[in-house]
Amino acid sequence: MAGVKLDPTIRRLREAEGFLELGMPSHALAILQARPDWATMQFEASYLTGEALRELGRHREALDFLETAARLRPENLMVAVALGWCYKRTHRLAQAIDALTRPRRSNPTEPLLSYNLACYWSLAGNLDRCLQELALALQQQPALRALIADESDFDQVRDHPAFRRLADEDRPGDP
């Protein structure tokens, strides 16, 4: 595409996104904060800013931008997951659950939503909902079972027989 000139706004957003993909959230944030108004690209700028702040561990600050992105595109899965992540880390578990429940209406078979909801319901102490969501996630994507052993969110329910059965189902090498 030699000779094709990108709109400067799109070019800067792509640069910021590239820095995020390279694991350089500070560089991405510098690009995003250098321009106070992204008018026609508000969703993209809000989401990328929220992601950069989230990756930097600045979860409370990230929420403002991610909430804006969620208002603009409530069905967006990545925004929902990032919102849940930040709400959980700011001790707002009910909002983390709500953030993932809303986009599920338009994405009922998305395993990432189900798995994260299982984690959050476990933390909330609701074993039934945890098991329901985990079963759905594993049905949708059986490979997620490999994450369960190292997932500290399940520590509260890990010893429950129903959870063990679900987590250990069809594991190779187990007697």
Separation of first and last alpha carbons in the chain: 57
Q: Which residue in 128, 106, 161 sits closest to 117, CA to CA?
A: 128
Assigned token pair, 35: 């321009």
CA distance linking residue 135 with residue 114, whole number of Å:
9
Q: What is the dihedral angle through the alpha carbons of 92, 96, 98, 101, rounded to the nearest 10 degrees?
A: -170
Query: CATH number for the 1-108 domain, one of 1.10.10.10, 3.40.50.620, 1.20.910.10, 1.25.40.10?
Result: 1.25.40.10
pLDDT (mean) for 103-111: 88
Q: How far is CA 82 from CA 26, 62, 120, 131, 135, in A?
A: 17, 9, 13, 22, 22
Q: Which residues of the chain form CATH 1.25.40.10?
A: 1-108
Q: 22-71 pLDDT, tens per residue? A: 999 999 999 988 887 777 789 999 999 999 999 999 999 999 999 999 99
pLDDT (mean) for 120-128: 97
CA distance linking residue 152 with residue 12, whole number of Å:
38
User: Look-up: residue for tokens 């996630």?
Assistant: 137
